[in-house]
Amino acid sequence: MSSSHPIRFFFRALSCAGASILLLSGCGEKDEPETSPTGSGVPPVSPAPQTPEPTLPEVPPSTPRVQDDPASDGWETEVLASEATKQLKALGKLFFKKDRVALKTLLAPDFTSDPLVPAGLQPALQDHLFLVERKATTPSALPPVPAHPNELTKALDAIRALSLSGHGKDQHAHFKVVTVSPGPSSNTFQTEVIASLSFSTEKALVEHHATWLVRWNRTPDQNTLPTLASLSVRDFSRTTTKRNTPLYTDVSASALDGTPCYHSQLGLGLNHWLGRLPVRAMLNRFGTPGLAMGDVNGDGLDDLYLCQEPGLPNRLFLQELDGTVKEASKAWGIDWIDDSRSALFLDLDNDGDQDLVVALYGVVVIARNDNRRQFTVVTALPCSPSTTMLAAADYDRDGLLDLYVCGYTQDNGGASIGAADERFVYHDAGNGAPNSLFRNKGNLTFEDVTTSTGLDQNNRRWSFAASWEDYDEDGDQDLYVANDYGRNNLYRNNGGKFVDVASVAGVEDSASGMSASWGDYDRDGRMDLYVANMFSAAGSRITTQKQFKTATDPVIRERFRRFTRGNSLFRNTDKGFQDVSEQAGVTLGRWAWSSNFVDLNNDAWPDFVVANGYLSSETDSGDL
């Protein structure tokens, strides 16, 4: 058996022999013998050979480098945005360090500013954890505070004093320029800026979130950066916690410290292993393999299964009573080293314990939980070469859980370049890998019913995620699929047959869909939909400029603009879905890989948790 692709070998064996069953053994703990847990005679998987640290090749001096030079490309507005961003970063430092000379160089002689913290803030939420205040949306009884040259200085001094009372911890100031508008003359322009501040005080953690309109003055000297001429505050909110310590504590080290793999492998990070991966498919560089939680041994504690990149063994962590974990993937027979993208713990055979489903590139592996002591692989289902996510539901209401598998790219090798292909339709891609629905027939056997159930309609998109929910309250499970590079799907279940109604329901959300979550955010009894996409400050600026894709159909141009907005919230009404994303203030999820409805403060109102981020470095532009 090949040590690099044991699961695919197993799948081929099933195809030839029909009903033969193979128990897999992978890389495990060093102190355990390399034998099959069941003594089945299956050759053990050899541990990966020790290899030296990879050496990156030197780039020849003659290799041309692509430089981002908006001036030479004719994008004067991007030049202005870059200059404004530099000045805003300099301003951000002054919130936490007093420097009157530096401040003076940033401001025009006639600079005026609104109060950075508007008067008459109204409480939007107040409980045992948070106080959230917002700028009044209705006229205040208080007289308006006129713009004044000293307002910015007063705000800087006040915030600096508060931050110093918290000993200068957790100080952050970030700004994103989202629009640029040239002024009436060449020496003025205006920007819309998303401003975010966070710091700790003596008694609390504080966050400010605002939208500023900033007018700038330029000089004929191209080596001189613009100065702030005026600053007005359009939107503002302030969140204050009831204590000055974080609400959550990272317990990864304390929980995993006793497992050797935490120090020898997991703690080193993905970049350490990228140069050693035996296969590098399109998604490997993102470090996004999935995980599953469930009580596999019946002790009442949730355990964790962690998928990994090719060549690194998947890990099963069994939770102990003290909150620590024990690594047991080898003993349970699931330390596979194939490229694993997603996993689920669920009871597929209705025997009361948690079975395991793992989506690898090209196959979905079903492993039976035997007496809550180990897993035995019973079948492998062929699917797309580039799987991303698994979702389970009893779509046909026969009492057995069925499986939906998302596919991304049709390329199963390491050469996939996705949107870099010159023929790629970025805003409406239809050349992705097909998704699959597997019906559970009982006894851990499945059949592919993608076509017969109607789910092959609009089924060549680049799917990242899927989520089941009975959104129309007719008693069966419907399916929403979030797709990268274009439109999403909403498959309405009509008695076991599906129809894509995303367009008529108003939830195509043509963007860069990466997750979907259902929840009743307004508590009206109907399940609403939250979709994670990508927010881009640069995209927001560029797609609103007159010179952006001037020869393109306006409808297509609008789709490109939509790509930059961010996340979407769709309210489920009795007449369909309503896009309430902007009025609810939930679009800015940044580069949002995942999102969930979660009641964080136990007030019975669902909140949002969004996992975001991207490949970055110390010189990251901060666009996302």
Q: How many domains does the chain have?
A: 2
Whether residue 263 lies inside any domain: the answer is: no
Whether residue 64 lies inside any domain: the answer is: no
- pLDDT at site 66: 60
Q: For the chain, what is the radius of gyration of the CA atoms?
A: 27
Last residue of a domain, one of 241, 273, 298: 241
- pLDDT at site 624: 47
Q: What is the DSSP letter of 271?
A: H
The secondary element (H helix, E strand) that includes residue 540 is helix 537-542
SS3 per residue for 544-564: CCCCCCCCCCHHHHHHHHHHC
Q: What residues make up the domain containing 103? A: 72-241
- pLDDT at site 510: 84
Q: Show the low-confidence residues of the chain (pLDDT under 70).
A: 1-67, 71, 138-149, 166-168, 279-280, 284-285, 411-424, 426, 615-624
How far apart, in whole angstroms, are the C-alpha atoms of residue 171 and residue 95?
9
Contacts of 65 (CB under 8 A, 6+ apart): none
Neighbours of 233 (CB within 10 A): 20
Query: What is the model's pTM?
Result: 0.82
How far apart, in whole angstroms, are the C-alpha atoms of residue 559 and residue 428?
9
37, 333 Cβ separation under 8 angstroms: yes
Whether residue 41 lies inside any domain: the answer is: no
Last residue of a domain, one of 241, 268, 301: 241
SS3 per residue for 55-119: CCCCCCCCCCCCCCCHHHHCCHHHHHHHHHHHHHHHHHHHCCCCCHHHHHHHEEEEEEECCCCCC
152, 159 Cβ separation under 8 angstroms: no
- pLDDT at site 333: 94
Contacts of 463 (CB under 8 A, 6+ apart): 388, 389, 406, 407, 408, 432, 433, 435, 481, 482, 483, 484
383, 437 Cβ separation under 8 angstroms: no
User: What are the two backbone dihedrals, phi and then psi, of residue 441, each rounded to the nearest 5 degrees?
Assistant: -95, 0
Chain centre distance of CA 267: 21
Whether residue 479 lies inside any domain: the answer is: yes
Q: What dihedral angle (degrees, nearest 10) is formed by the CA atoms of 341, 347, 351, 353?
A: 70
* CATH number for the domain that contains residue 173: 3.10.450.50
Whether residue 558 lies inside any domain: the answer is: yes
Whether residue 288 lies inside any domain: the answer is: no
Whether residue 415 lies inside any domain: the answer is: yes
27 to 39, 46, 48, 330, 481: CA distances (angstroms):
17, 7, 8, 7, 34
Which residue bears the tokens 């044991």?
6
Whether residue 450 lies inside any domain: the answer is: yes
Q: What is the pLDDT of residues 520-578, one digit of tens each?
A: 999 999 999 999 998 888 888 888 888 888 888 888 888 888 878 889 999 999 888 99
Last residue of a domain, one of 197, 226, 241: 241
Query: Got the DSSP string for 207-266?
Result: EEEEEEEEEEE--S-TTS--EEEEEEEEEEEEEEESSSS-SS---HHHHHTTSHHHHHTG
How far apart, in whole angstroms, are the C-alpha atoms of residue 403 and residue 619?
42
